[in-house]
Structure 1
Amino acid sequence: MDVALTVPVPQAAKRLNLFERYLSLWVVGCMLMGVGLGRAFPGIVQHLRSLEVGEGSHINLPMALLIWLMIVPMMMKVDLASLRLVGQRPTGLFVTLVVNWLVKPFSMALFAWVFFRYLFAAWMTPSEAEQYIAGCIILAAAPCTAMVFVWSYLTDGDPAYTLVQVTVNDLLMPVLFVPIIGLLISGASSLSVPYAVLWYSVLAFVVIPLTIGTLLRAWLMRQYGARWFTDDFLPRFAPVTIAALLLTLVLIFAFQADNILTNPWHVALIAVPIVLQVYLNAALAYGLMQRLGVPYAVAAPGSLIGASNFFELAVATAIALFGPESGAALATVVGVLVEVPVMLSVCGICTRTRHWFPLKQVA
């Protein structure tokens, strides 16, 4: 029987939508708006900052509501039925899980500790450095849930594999997120981690939204069908999710107005270790999969999952632990600022190096 190589079919260039393509610009706009509001209306901002779920909880009520509007629609994309596909491509899944949970948080802790404690020590106080270390660790310990579907699409990744990886990560998050954060923050800084608040954050921003999203997904698909759910229902949430994200950023920067105006260069300094760890973990996952013979359509999204972050959860957790005006919260927001341009560059590297992987053969 003759063996034929698959011939790539020319396709139109894949593009992000308007919001995704200019997310970094929207974040900068939110930063300017938030800082302006914080300086112009300090009384109103202070009142909003004081609205907590419980006294001393650090869980800001307006932000908690906005973050729920972001996270619940993301969790509705999680398909528990996809877990039956886990055994079909175990190598790619194993590599990305190792990078996500055993490499990325620890490499980020190391980078943050070296940069903020030593290389950038002249430009920040020890207390600021510890806050930034904590924020970077929280960011890296939250594996990506939503945007990874976009990165997978741009690199011609296997959508079924991407869904499996996201589902597995979301199920592991309640088990691994808390101990990893507690271990690394305590080890890399002198900050104490209020574990009760940390567990409450995971319950509020992972377990409950995942449960609600799963139940809503199952009920709506039974009632109206999978196509209606995917093509009609989920897209209706996009404007709400976008608005919630932008309003959350405006509030965070309003709460951070004094810190940013006092130390504007800190935003750029925080971005350095975040960007470095993204490229490190993407390269590690991608290279391991290439050496292990994993197909490109699995290796590309696997490397992107290993590099990107669930920044909505990271922001919520940093706020709950240290407050919306903390350096930790600022560090997680800087992660949002650099997410799109950095991840787009990783997508570009993947698409330009797909020839490193053998062409799939068909009988």
Structure 2
Amino acid sequence: MTAQTPHSGPVAARLSFLDRFLAVWILLAMAAGLGLGRLVPGLGEALAKVTVTGVSLPIALGLLVMMYPVLAKVRYDRLDTVTRDRRLLIPSLAVNWIAGPAVMFALAWLLLPDLPQYRTGLIIVGLARCIAMVIIWNDLACGHREAAAVLVALNSVFQVIAFSALGWFYLSVLPGWLGLEQTGLDVSVWEIARSVLIFLGIPLLAGFLTRRLGEKARGRTWYENKLIPRIGPFALYGLLFTIVLLFALQGDAITSQPWDVARIALPLLVYFAVMWTGSMALGRAVGLDYPRAVTLAFTAAGNNFELAIAVAIATFGASSGQALAGVVGPLIEVPVLIGLVYVALAARRFFPAPDSALQPTVAPEGSARV
């Protein structure tokens, strides 16, 4: 996607053909996945046979391909400007690790009081803060690339430290205090750390080494003008490939249980709207410019569905309602957050001009942002 400043002209006129119709490609990928899941017998079982931390190996490869180009674009020499920005870091930790799990817990109990398996699955989704696909949404919305890298890294650290404790609190302790049904969650710190190392560590290391070695060998001008435009589109290809496989994996369950999917989707829709809108408003209230505010919003609204699915399968089984709720999560998240990308771009005029010291990296004209 062509780089935009938050106050530039019409976005659509500056996009490539692929980027301009991204929503169409995503809808087609979803439809193709559903069709494959229904038309090819045993496809779901075949995709699920070989897994990485509970996630299908082809899906894991798609996620890695999707994340690598964006992380290769990050200016790692500028990360210190983000780590010193308390107006961004403190709100991000608050909305991710205090507001996010609490909002999902409340919505799951309010909207699914009669469906304990789906309710538990959604609470697990709420505990798993995003470390993967959020990078794509942030880049599409012209967010601050370096800030996204820092916030994702922070979420990863907190995930390893806090996920199990929060799962125990929201599934056992808090329901007990409120007189509600209690559920156990037995997941080790190593299982969480392994998921983080695979889905963030591998593409992060690859992106860092690509920039470091590429700039050292050929210079920054060549890296930004030649290499980035070549590898950039692979993020979109990886995204579409992942979406096809996600929908194919659960195509039969989704099409044969539409009412269950709709029940799971409702709290998710409310959750994404509340978290994204609330975080954008918070960013505006504390004086963040558009690139940093939109990064705050997308890192707050997204969830680490790889971890949520892996935990649900490992704890409750692949055919459980908890696992289905985990799978429905990204199926709802993808179209909703791509829609919020367009909302974000339209809302840029309500934010102050970017602070020059914290200006996000701008790719050369004509280079692929995705």
TM-score category (smaller protein): 0.7 to 0.9
Match of residue 35 from structure 2: 36
Partners of 1:82 and 1:163 within 8 A in 2: no
* Structure 2 residue matching 1:32: 3-state secondary structure: helix
Distance in 1, matches of 2:151 and 2:340, equals 22
1:183-223 Cα offsets, whole Å, 9 max, x none, are: 44444442524323322111111123212221221111111
How far apart are 1:127 and its partner, in Å? Answer: 1.9
Code of the residue aligned with 1:178 in structure 2: it is V
Q: Alpha carbons of 1:169 and 1:261: their partners in 2 closer, same or farther (altered >3 Å)?
A: same
1:58-100 Cα offsets, whole Å, 9 max, x none, are: 2422222222211222322333321232376432443334333
Distance in 1, matches of 2:277 and 2:55, equals 36
Structure 2 residue runs of 5 or longer lacking an equivalent are 1-6, 172-182, 356-370
Structure 1 residue runs of 5 or longer lacking an equivalent are 1-9, 154-161
* Structure 1 residue matching 2:185: 3-state secondary structure: coil
Partners of 2:130 and 2:305 within 8 A in 1: no
Match of residue 252 from structure 1: 246
Match of residue 297 from structure 2: 304
Partners of 1:283 and 1:303 within 8 A in 2: no
Match of residue 336 from structure 2: 338
How far apart are 1:335 and its partner, in Å? Answer: 0.8
**1:222 and 2:219 are equivalent in the alignment:** no
How far apart are 1:260 and its partner, in Å? Answer: 0.6
How far apart are 1:50 and its partner, in Å? Answer: 1.1
TM-score, normalised on structure 2?
0.75
* Structure 2 residue matching 1:152: 3-state secondary structure: coil
Pairing 1:187-226 to 2, within 5 Å after superposition: 187-189=169-171, 190=183, 192-195=185-188, 196-226=190-220
Distance in 2, matches of 1:142 and 1:240, equals 15
Q: Percent identity?
A: 25
**1:95 and 2:77 are equivalent in the alignment:** no
Partners of 1:148 and 1:308 within 8 A in 2: no
* Structure 2 residue matching 1:76: 3-state secondary structure: helix
RMSD: 3.4
Distance in 1, matches of 2:124 and 2:68, equals 25
**1:68 and 2:61 are equivalent in the alignment:** no
Match of residue 122 from structure 2: 132
Pairing 1:1-363 to 2, within 5 Å after superposition: 11-15=8-12, 17-53=16-52, 58-86=54-82, 89-116=85-112, 118=113, 121=114, 125-138=115-128, 144-152=134-142, 162-189=144-171, 190=183, 192-195=185-188, 196-292=190-286, 294=287, 296-297=289-290, 300-309=293-302, 314-323=304-313, 326-327=323-324, 328-348=326-346, 350-354=347-351
Distance in 2, matches of 1:358 and 1:251, equals 40
* Structure 2 residue matching 1:42: 3-state secondary structure: coil
Distance in 2, matches of 1:142 and 1:27, equals 17
Distance in 2, matches of 1:306 and 1:65, equals 22
Partners of 2:43 and 2:248 within 8 A in 1: no
Partners of 1:93 and 1:302 within 8 A in 2: no
Distance in 2, matches of 1:42 and 1:288, equals 48
Distance in 1, matches of 2:41 and 2:275, equals 41
Code of the residue aligned with 2:49 in structure 1: it is S
TM-score, normalised on structure 1?
0.76
Partners of 2:108 and 2:267 within 8 A in 1: yes
* Structure 1 residue matching 2:134: 3-state secondary structure: coil
Distance in 2, matches of 1:24 and 1:183, equals 37
Partners of 1:30 and 1:250 within 8 A in 2: yes
